[in-house]
A and B are shown apart, each in its own frame.
Chain A
Protein backbone atom coordinates (compact mmCIF):
# COMPACT_ATOMS: atom_id res chain seq x y z
CA UNK A 1 0.00 0.00 0.00
CA UNK A 2 1.04 3.57 -0.60
CA UNK A 3 1.81 5.99 2.23
CA UNK A 4 -1.28 8.10 1.49
CA UNK A 5 -3.59 5.10 1.85
CA UNK A 6 -1.92 4.12 5.11
CA UNK A 7 -2.36 7.67 6.42
CA UNK A 8 -6.06 7.59 5.57
CA UNK A 9 -6.60 4.29 7.41
CA UNK A 10 -4.65 5.35 10.47
CA UNK A 11 -6.18 8.83 10.73
CA UNK A 12 -9.70 7.36 10.62
CA UNK A 13 -8.91 5.03 13.52
CA UNK A 14 -7.12 7.69 15.55
CA UNK A 15 -10.02 10.13 15.11
CA UNK A 16 -12.36 7.48 16.55
CA UNK A 17 -10.18 6.44 19.48
CA UNK A 18 -8.26 9.66 20.19
CA UNK A 19 -10.43 12.61 19.07
CA UNK A 20 -8.00 15.04 20.75
CA UNK A 21 -5.49 14.09 18.01
CA UNK A 22 -7.84 14.71 15.09
CA UNK A 23 -5.99 17.91 14.16
CA UNK A 24 -2.57 16.26 14.17
CA UNK A 25 -0.73 15.30 10.99
CA UNK A 26 1.15 12.08 11.69
CA UNK A 27 4.66 11.27 10.60
CA UNK A 28 4.49 8.02 8.66
CA UNK A 29 7.43 5.91 7.64
CA UNK A 30 8.07 2.45 6.34
CA UNK A 31 10.34 0.35 8.54
CA UNK A 32 12.05 -2.98 8.25
CA UNK A 33 11.99 -4.56 11.67
CA UNK A 34 14.92 -6.83 12.38
CA UNK A 35 16.19 -8.62 15.45
CA UNK A 36 19.64 -10.12 15.68
CA UNK A 37 19.93 -13.90 15.82
CA UNK A 38 21.73 -13.62 19.13
CA UNK A 39 18.55 -12.47 20.89
CA UNK A 40 16.65 -15.51 19.62
CA UNK A 41 19.44 -17.80 20.82
CA UNK A 42 19.05 -16.40 24.33
CA UNK A 43 15.44 -17.57 24.52
CA UNK A 44 15.98 -20.70 22.41
CA UNK A 45 13.67 -19.54 19.64
CA UNK A 46 13.95 -19.91 15.91
CA UNK A 47 14.80 -16.50 14.38
CA UNK A 48 12.06 -14.75 12.42
CA UNK A 49 12.77 -13.00 9.17
CA UNK A 50 12.67 -9.19 8.97
CA UNK A 51 9.20 -7.69 8.60
CA UNK A 52 8.20 -4.59 6.71
CA UNK A 53 5.63 -2.38 8.48
CA UNK A 54 4.42 1.20 8.51
CA UNK A 55 4.78 3.24 11.70
CA UNK A 56 2.56 6.29 12.20
CA UNK A 57 3.43 8.70 15.01
CA UNK A 58 1.04 11.38 16.30
CA UNK A 59 2.45 14.00 18.67
CA UNK A 60 0.66 16.76 20.52
CA UNK A 61 1.62 19.06 23.39
CA UNK A 62 -0.72 19.19 26.39
CA UNK A 63 -0.58 21.20 29.58
CA UNK A 64 -0.91 19.36 32.84
CA UNK A 65 -2.94 20.73 35.75
CA UNK A 66 0.22 21.89 37.53
CA UNK A 67 1.18 24.03 34.52
CA UNK A 68 3.96 21.77 33.24
CA UNK A 69 3.83 20.67 29.62
CA UNK A 70 4.09 17.25 28.06
CA UNK A 71 4.22 15.78 24.59
CA UNK A 72 1.70 12.99 24.25
CA UNK A 73 2.53 10.42 21.60
CA UNK A 74 0.27 7.89 19.94
CA UNK A 75 1.93 5.28 17.72
CA UNK A 76 0.26 2.93 15.26
CA UNK A 77 2.01 -0.09 13.79
CA UNK A 78 0.42 -1.03 10.47
CA UNK A 79 1.09 -4.01 8.20
CA UNK A 80 2.18 -3.43 4.61
CA UNK A 81 -1.39 -4.39 3.64
CA UNK A 82 -2.88 -1.63 5.77
CA UNK A 83 -4.00 -3.68 8.77
CA UNK A 84 -3.56 -1.84 12.07
CA UNK A 85 -1.59 -4.30 14.20
CA UNK A 86 -1.17 -2.22 17.31
CA UNK A 87 -1.88 1.22 18.75
CA UNK A 88 0.07 2.35 21.75
CA UNK A 89 0.45 5.61 23.63
CA UNK A 90 3.07 7.32 25.71
CA UNK A 91 2.74 7.32 29.45
Chain B
Protein backbone atom coordinates (compact mmCIF):
# COMPACT_ATOMS: atom_id res chain seq x y z
CA UNK B 1 0.00 0.00 0.00
CA UNK B 2 1.02 3.61 -0.50
CA UNK B 3 0.37 6.10 2.28
CA UNK B 4 0.48 9.89 2.27
CA UNK B 5 1.45 11.02 5.77
CA UNK B 6 0.46 14.51 6.72
CA UNK B 7 0.27 16.54 9.90
CA UNK B 8 -2.95 18.49 9.42
CA UNK B 9 -2.36 20.82 12.34
CA UNK B 10 1.00 21.99 11.06
CA UNK B 11 -0.41 22.09 7.53
CA UNK B 12 -3.25 24.37 8.56
CA UNK B 13 -0.84 26.64 10.42
CA UNK B 14 1.20 27.10 7.25
CA UNK B 15 -1.39 27.01 4.47
CA UNK B 16 -4.62 27.87 6.31
CA UNK B 17 -8.01 26.13 6.40
CA UNK B 18 -8.49 26.68 2.69
CA UNK B 19 -5.15 24.96 2.02
CA UNK B 20 -6.25 21.95 4.07
CA UNK B 21 -9.59 21.75 2.23
CA UNK B 22 -8.03 21.86 -1.24
CA UNK B 23 -5.39 19.33 -0.26
CA UNK B 24 -8.03 17.03 1.25
CA UNK B 25 -9.94 17.15 -2.04
CA UNK B 26 -6.76 16.36 -3.94
CA UNK B 27 -6.11 13.39 -1.67
CA UNK B 28 -9.55 12.01 -2.61
CA UNK B 29 -8.44 12.16 -6.21
CA UNK B 30 -5.14 10.35 -5.73
CA UNK B 31 -6.77 7.77 -3.43
CA UNK B 32 -8.26 6.33 -6.62
CA UNK B 33 -4.69 5.71 -7.76
CA UNK B 34 -3.91 3.82 -4.56
CA UNK B 35 -2.46 6.56 -2.34
CA UNK B 36 -4.15 6.60 1.03
CA UNK B 37 -3.94 9.76 3.15
CA UNK B 38 -3.11 9.30 6.80
CA UNK B 39 -3.17 12.12 9.33
CA UNK B 40 -0.65 11.98 12.18
CA UNK B 41 1.20 14.41 14.42
CA UNK B 42 4.71 14.50 13.02
CA UNK B 43 6.28 13.69 16.40
CA UNK B 44 4.41 10.37 16.52
CA UNK B 45 4.83 9.17 12.94
CA UNK B 46 7.33 6.38 13.47
CA UNK B 47 5.35 4.80 16.31
CA UNK B 48 2.07 5.32 14.50
CA UNK B 49 3.21 3.53 11.34
CA UNK B 50 4.00 0.41 13.35
CA UNK B 51 0.28 -0.03 14.01
CA UNK B 52 -0.61 -0.90 10.45
CA UNK B 53 2.45 -1.10 8.22
CA UNK B 54 3.24 -4.12 6.12
CA UNK B 55 6.45 -5.07 4.39
CA UNK B 56 6.77 -3.22 1.09
CA UNK B 57 4.47 -0.32 1.96
CA UNK B 58 5.54 3.04 0.56
CA UNK B 59 5.22 6.04 2.90
CA UNK B 60 5.25 9.59 1.55
CA UNK B 61 5.81 12.48 3.96
CA UNK B 62 3.86 15.55 2.92
CA UNK B 63 5.79 18.81 3.08
CA UNK B 64 9.15 20.24 4.06
CA UNK B 65 10.85 20.66 7.41
CA UNK B 66 8.17 22.91 8.92
CA UNK B 67 5.37 20.45 8.09
CA UNK B 68 7.19 17.22 8.96
CA UNK B 69 10.57 18.07 10.53
CA UNK B 70 13.71 16.26 9.50
CA UNK B 71 15.51 14.36 12.21
CA UNK B 72 18.36 16.54 13.52
CA UNK B 73 21.19 14.20 14.40
CA UNK B 74 24.55 15.29 15.80
CA UNK B 75 27.01 15.22 12.93
CA UNK B 76 29.45 12.31 13.33
CA UNK B 77 32.06 14.05 11.12
CA UNK B 78 34.38 16.93 11.92
CA UNK B 79 33.20 19.31 9.19
CA UNK B 80 31.08 22.44 8.94
CA UNK B 81 27.76 20.80 9.76
CA UNK B 82 26.52 20.83 13.33
CA UNK B 83 23.67 18.43 12.55
CA UNK B 84 22.77 15.94 9.87
CA UNK B 85 19.20 16.35 8.63
CA UNK B 86 17.65 12.98 7.98
CA UNK B 87 14.41 11.13 7.27
CA UNK B 88 15.86 7.99 8.83
CA UNK B 89 13.90 8.80 11.98
CA UNK B 90 10.80 7.91 9.96
CA UNK B 91 12.21 5.04 7.90
CA UNK B 92 13.60 3.30 10.98
CA UNK B 93 11.31 1.78 13.58
CA UNK B 94 13.72 2.02 16.52
CA UNK B 95 16.61 4.03 17.93
CA UNK B 96 19.18 2.44 15.61
CA UNK B 97 18.50 4.82 12.77
CA UNK B 98 21.39 4.23 10.38
CA UNK B 99 19.43 1.66 8.41
CA UNK B 100 15.84 1.91 7.18
CA UNK B 101 13.21 -0.73 7.78
CA UNK B 102 10.54 0.91 5.72
CA UNK B 103 10.33 2.80 2.44
CA UNK B 104 9.98 6.54 3.00
CA UNK B 105 10.11 9.53 0.69
CA UNK B 106 9.12 13.16 1.06
CA UNK B 107 7.19 15.62 -1.08
CA UNK B 108 8.70 19.00 -0.21
CA UNK B 109 6.44 22.04 -0.40
CA UNK B 110 9.00 24.70 -1.35
CA UNK B 111 6.79 27.17 0.56
CA UNK B 112 4.30 26.95 -2.31
CA UNK B 113 1.10 24.93 -2.01
CA UNK B 114 0.65 24.81 -5.78
CA UNK B 115 4.05 23.13 -6.14
CA UNK B 116 3.09 20.57 -3.47
CA UNK B 117 -0.23 19.91 -5.21
CA UNK B 118 1.59 19.43 -8.50
CA UNK B 119 3.73 16.74 -6.86
CA UNK B 120 0.69 15.04 -5.31
CA UNK B 121 -1.24 15.08 -8.59
CA UNK B 122 1.67 13.47 -10.41
CA UNK B 123 1.96 10.53 -8.03
CA UNK B 124 1.60 7.08 -9.51
CA UNK B 125 3.18 7.41 -12.92
CA UNK B 126 6.06 5.34 -14.23
CA UNK B 127 9.13 6.29 -16.17
CA UNK B 128 9.83 5.46 -19.79
CA UNK B 129 13.30 4.34 -20.69
CA UNK B 130 15.29 7.23 -22.13
CA UNK B 131 18.81 8.55 -22.35
CA UNK B 132 21.13 8.88 -19.36
CA UNK B 133 22.78 12.18 -18.51
CA UNK B 134 25.90 12.55 -16.38
CA UNK B 135 27.77 15.61 -15.15
CA UNK B 136 30.87 15.59 -12.96
CA UNK B 137 33.50 17.84 -11.48
CA UNK B 138 36.73 17.22 -13.36
CA UNK B 139 38.56 16.04 -10.23
CA UNK B 140 36.09 13.16 -9.81
CA UNK B 141 35.91 12.04 -13.44
CA UNK B 142 37.25 8.53 -12.77
CA UNK B 143 34.98 7.94 -9.79
CA UNK B 144 31.96 9.35 -11.65
CA UNK B 145 32.49 7.20 -14.74
CA UNK B 146 32.32 4.13 -12.51
CA UNK B 147 28.87 5.20 -11.29
CA UNK B 148 27.67 6.50 -14.67
CA UNK B 149 28.39 3.12 -16.26
CA UNK B 150 25.55 1.71 -14.15
CA UNK B 151 23.03 3.63 -16.25
CA UNK B 152 24.85 2.81 -19.48
CA UNK B 153 26.28 6.29 -19.60
CA UNK B 154 29.21 6.81 -21.90
CA UNK B 155 29.93 10.49 -22.44
CA UNK B 156 29.82 12.31 -19.15
CA UNK B 157 29.96 16.12 -19.05
CA UNK B 158 32.97 17.41 -17.16
CA UNK B 159 33.33 20.74 -15.38
CA UNK B 160 35.54 22.52 -16.22
CA UNK B 161 35.49 23.03 -19.18
CA UNK B 162 31.70 22.63 -19.19
CA UNK B 163 29.82 25.17 -17.08
CA UNK B 164 26.32 26.62 -16.69
CA UNK B 165 26.77 28.67 -19.87
CA UNK B 166 27.49 25.65 -22.06
CA UNK B 167 25.63 22.74 -20.43
CA UNK B 168 22.34 21.71 -22.01
CA UNK B 169 19.81 19.39 -20.39
CA UNK B 170 16.91 18.40 -22.58
CA UNK B 171 13.66 16.47 -22.61
CA UNK B 172 15.20 13.32 -24.14
CA UNK B 173 17.07 12.64 -20.94
CA UNK B 174 15.57 10.74 -18.02
CA UNK B 175 18.34 9.38 -15.82
CA UNK B 176 20.27 12.26 -14.35
CA UNK B 177 23.49 11.66 -12.46
CA UNK B 178 25.44 14.53 -10.89
CA UNK B 179 28.77 14.46 -9.08
CA UNK B 180 29.34 18.16 -8.51
CA UNK B 181 29.98 20.42 -5.53
CA UNK B 182 27.01 21.99 -3.80
CA UNK B 183 26.29 24.76 -1.33
CA UNK B 184 23.77 25.57 1.38
CA UNK B 185 24.01 29.27 0.53
CA UNK B 186 23.70 29.42 -3.25
CA UNK B 187 21.32 27.45 -5.50
CA UNK B 188 24.17 26.36 -7.77
CA UNK B 189 26.29 23.26 -8.21
CA UNK B 190 29.96 23.61 -9.06
CA UNK B 191 32.73 21.86 -10.96
CA UNK B 192 36.32 21.63 -9.77
CA UNK B 193 39.81 21.44 -11.21
CA UNK B 194 42.49 21.98 -8.56
CA UNK B 195 41.56 25.21 -6.78
CA UNK B 196 39.16 26.37 -9.51
CA UNK B 197 35.41 25.98 -8.89
CA UNK B 198 33.26 27.12 -11.85
CA UNK B 199 29.47 27.36 -11.61
CA UNK B 200 28.40 24.18 -13.39
CA UNK B 201 24.63 24.23 -13.02
CA UNK B 202 21.96 26.82 -12.24
CA UNK B 203 18.20 26.38 -11.80
CA UNK B 204 17.59 28.01 -15.19
CA UNK B 205 19.56 25.20 -16.86
CA UNK B 206 16.64 22.86 -16.07
CA UNK B 207 13.99 24.68 -18.06
CA UNK B 208 13.74 22.07 -20.84
CA UNK B 209 13.61 18.87 -18.84
CA UNK B 210 10.22 17.21 -18.39
CA UNK B 211 10.58 13.99 -16.50
CA UNK B 212 13.07 11.54 -15.04
CA UNK B 213 14.87 10.55 -11.89
CA UNK B 214 17.86 12.35 -10.41
CA UNK B 215 20.66 11.22 -8.14
CA UNK B 216 23.06 13.90 -6.97
CA UNK B 217 26.17 13.59 -4.83
CA UNK B 218 26.46 17.34 -4.28
CA UNK B 219 26.92 18.62 -0.74
CA UNK B 220 23.54 20.04 0.29
CA UNK B 221 22.04 18.69 -2.97
CA UNK B 222 18.83 17.91 -1.06
CA UNK B 223 19.04 20.75 1.48
CA UNK B 224 15.64 22.44 1.34
CA UNK B 225 15.10 24.02 4.75
CA UNK B 226 13.74 27.54 4.18
CA UNK B 227 14.27 27.23 0.42
CA UNK B 228 11.86 28.15 -2.35
CA UNK B 229 11.75 26.37 -5.72
CA UNK B 230 14.32 28.58 -7.44
CA UNK B 231 16.62 28.46 -4.43
CA UNK B 232 17.35 24.73 -4.49
CA UNK B 233 18.10 22.59 -7.53
CA UNK B 234 16.36 19.60 -5.93
CA UNK B 235 13.09 21.55 -5.77
CA UNK B 236 13.58 22.90 -9.27
CA UNK B 237 14.05 19.38 -10.64
CA UNK B 238 10.82 18.24 -8.98
CA UNK B 239 8.96 21.30 -10.27
CA UNK B 240 9.97 20.32 -13.81
CA UNK B 241 8.38 16.89 -13.51
CA UNK B 242 11.25 14.80 -12.16
CA UNK B 243 9.59 11.94 -10.28
CA UNK B 244 12.27 11.05 -7.73
CA UNK B 245 15.29 12.90 -6.44
CA UNK B 246 18.04 11.32 -4.35
CA UNK B 247 20.49 13.67 -2.63
CA UNK B 248 22.24 14.77 0.52
CA UNK B 249 20.98 17.28 3.08
CA UNK B 250 24.47 18.18 4.29
CA UNK B 251 28.18 17.97 3.37
CA UNK B 252 28.59 14.70 1.46
CA UNK B 253 31.72 12.68 0.79
CA UNK B 254 33.11 10.57 -2.01
CA UNK B 255 36.36 9.23 -3.45
CA UNK B 256 38.29 10.71 -6.36
CA UNK B 257 38.61 7.32 -8.05
CA UNK B 258 37.04 3.85 -7.86
CA UNK B 259 36.10 1.82 -5.90
CA UNK B 260 32.87 3.62 -5.16
CA UNK B 261 32.38 4.55 -1.51
CA UNK B 262 30.13 6.99 0.43
CA UNK B 263 27.90 9.07 -1.88
CA UNK B 264 29.15 7.27 -5.00
CA UNK B 265 28.20 3.89 -3.60
CA UNK B 266 24.71 4.90 -2.42
CA UNK B 267 23.92 6.43 -5.82
CA UNK B 268 25.40 3.53 -7.75
CA UNK B 269 23.32 0.92 -5.91
CA UNK B 270 20.22 3.10 -6.19
CA UNK B 271 20.54 3.22 -9.98
CA UNK B 272 21.33 -0.51 -10.22
CA UNK B 273 18.19 -1.45 -8.30
CA UNK B 274 15.98 1.02 -10.15
CA UNK B 275 17.12 -0.24 -13.52
CA UNK B 276 16.38 -3.79 -12.39
CA UNK B 277 12.72 -2.87 -12.06
CA UNK B 278 12.41 -1.82 -8.42
CA UNK B 279 10.46 1.29 -7.46
CA UNK B 280 12.58 4.31 -6.59
CA UNK B 281 11.56 3.85 -2.95
CA UNK B 282 12.60 0.20 -2.90
CA UNK B 283 15.83 1.11 -4.70
CA UNK B 284 16.68 3.75 -2.14
CA UNK B 285 15.87 1.43 0.77
CA UNK B 286 18.01 -1.35 -0.71
CA UNK B 287 20.83 1.11 -1.48
CA UNK B 288 21.26 1.94 2.21
CA UNK B 289 21.17 -1.68 3.30
CA UNK B 290 23.59 -2.82 0.60
CA UNK B 291 25.86 0.13 1.35
CA UNK B 292 26.10 -1.02 4.97
CA UNK B 293 26.84 -4.62 4.00
CA UNK B 294 29.41 -3.62 1.37
CA UNK B 295 31.36 -1.32 3.67
CA UNK B 296 31.38 -3.85 6.53
CA UNK B 297 32.54 -6.55 4.12
CA UNK B 298 35.23 -4.38 2.51
CA UNK B 299 36.67 -2.52 5.49
CA UNK B 300 35.22 -4.22 8.58
CA UNK B 301 33.66 -1.05 10.03
CA UNK B 302 31.72 2.08 9.25
CA UNK B 303 33.71 5.23 9.83
CA UNK B 304 32.21 8.64 10.51
CA UNK B 305 31.68 9.62 6.88
CA UNK B 306 30.01 6.26 6.15
CA UNK B 307 27.58 6.86 9.00
CA UNK B 308 26.95 10.39 7.82
CA UNK B 309 26.24 9.11 4.30
CA UNK B 310 23.57 6.72 5.60
CA UNK B 311 21.89 9.52 7.52
CA UNK B 312 22.12 12.41 5.07
CA UNK B 313 20.79 10.83 1.88
CA UNK B 314 17.08 11.35 1.41
CA UNK B 315 14.52 10.54 -1.25
CA UNK B 316 12.14 13.20 -2.54
CA UNK B 317 9.20 12.71 -4.88
CA UNK B 318 7.20 9.64 -5.80
CA UNK B 319 8.72 6.48 -4.28
CA UNK B 320 6.38 4.25 -6.30
CA UNK B 321 7.72 5.23 -9.71
CA UNK B 322 9.51 2.53 -11.65
CA UNK B 323 10.74 1.81 -15.15
CA UNK B 324 7.71 1.24 -17.35
CA UNK B 325 9.29 -1.45 -19.48
CA UNK B 326 10.53 -3.34 -16.43
CA UNK B 327 14.08 -4.47 -16.71
CA UNK B 328 16.65 -2.16 -18.21
CA UNK B 329 17.90 -3.39 -21.54
CA UNK B 330 21.67 -3.57 -21.32
CA UNK B 331 23.42 -2.05 -24.29
CA UNK B 332 25.88 -4.28 -26.11
Dominant secondary structure at the B interface: loop
Complex contact B299–A91 (CB within 8 A): no
Nearest A-chain residue to B79, judged by Cβ = A73
A-chain residues with CB within 8 Å of residue B197 when the two chains form the complex? 62-65, 70
Complex contact A91–B263 (CB within 8 A): yes
Q: Which listed segment binds A: B6-14, B181-189, B203-211?
A: B181-189
Nearest A-chain residue to B307, judged by Cβ = A35
0/1 per residue, B248-285, Cβ < 8 Å to A?
Answer: 10011111100001110000000000000000000000
Task: Using A39-B96, A57-B78 as known contacts, say yes or no to A77 and B180 having CB atoms under 8 A apart.
Answer: no
Does B120 reach chain A (CB closer than 8 Å)? no
Interface residues of B in 185-217 (CB under 8 A from A): 185-186, 188, 190, 194-199, 217
> Roughly how many angstroms separate A38 CA and B93 CA in the complex, as a whole number?
11
Shortest C-beta distance, A5 to chain B (Å), equals 20
The contact size tier of chain A is 35 or more
Complex contact B292–A86 (CB within 8 A): no
Does B301 reach chain A (CB closer than 8 Å)? yes
A-chain residues with CB within 8 Å of residue B101 when the two chains form the complex? 42
Complex contact A38–B289 (CB within 8 A): no
> Roughly how many angstroms separate A85 CA and B188 CA in the complex, as a whole number?
32
Please tell me the number of chain B residues within 8 Å of chain A, measured between CB atoms: 49
> Roughly how many angstroms separate A53 CA and B302 CA in the complex, as a whole number?
11
Task: Using A51-B300, A53-B301, A62-B197 as known contacts, say yes or no to A88 and B292 having CB atoms under 8 A apart.
Answer: no
Shortest C-beta distance, B193 to chain A (Å), equals 11
Task: Using A43-B293, A71-B80 as known contacts, say yes or no to A91 and B304 having CB atoms under 8 A apart.
Answer: no
A-chain residues with CB within 8 Å of residue B180 when the two chains form the complex? 91
> Roughly how many angstroms separate A43 CA and B251 CA in the complex, as a whole number?
26
Task: Using A48-B296, A91-B219 as known contacts, say yes or no to A68 and B185 having CB atoms under 8 A apart.
Answer: yes
Complex contact B181–A88 (CB within 8 A): no
Complex contact B254–A33 (CB within 8 A): no
Complex contact A20–B195 (CB within 8 A): yes
> Roughly how many angstroms separate A51 CA and B305 CA in the complex, as a whole number?
15
Complex contact A91–B251 (CB within 8 A): yes
Does B84 reach chain A (CB closer than 8 Å)? no
Complex contact A86–B299 (CB within 8 A): yes
Nearest A-chain residue to B302, judged by Cβ = A35
Does B325 reach chain A (CB closer than 8 Å)? no
Does B179 reach chain A (CB closer than 8 Å)? yes
Interface residues of A in 41-72 (CB under 8 A from B): 42-43, 45, 48, 50-51, 53, 55, 57, 59, 62-66, 68, 70-71
A residues sitting closer than 8 Å to B (CB atoms) are 17, 20, 27, 31, 33, 35-36, 38-39, 42-43, 45, 48, 50-51, 53, 55, 57, 59, 62-66, 68, 70-71, 73, 75, 77, 85-91
Some 21 contacts from A to B, beta carbons below 8 A apart, are: A20-B195, A31-B303, A31-B304, A39-B98, A39-B99, A53-B303, A55-B78, A59-B79, A62-B197, A63-B197, A64-B183, A65-B196, A70-B181, A71-B80, A73-B79, A88-B255, A89-B253, A89-B254, A91-B182, A91-B218, A91-B248
7 further A-B contacts with Cβ under 8 Å, apart from A20-B194, A62-B197, are A48-B301, A57-B78, A65-B197, A65-B199, A66-B199, A73-B79, A88-B253
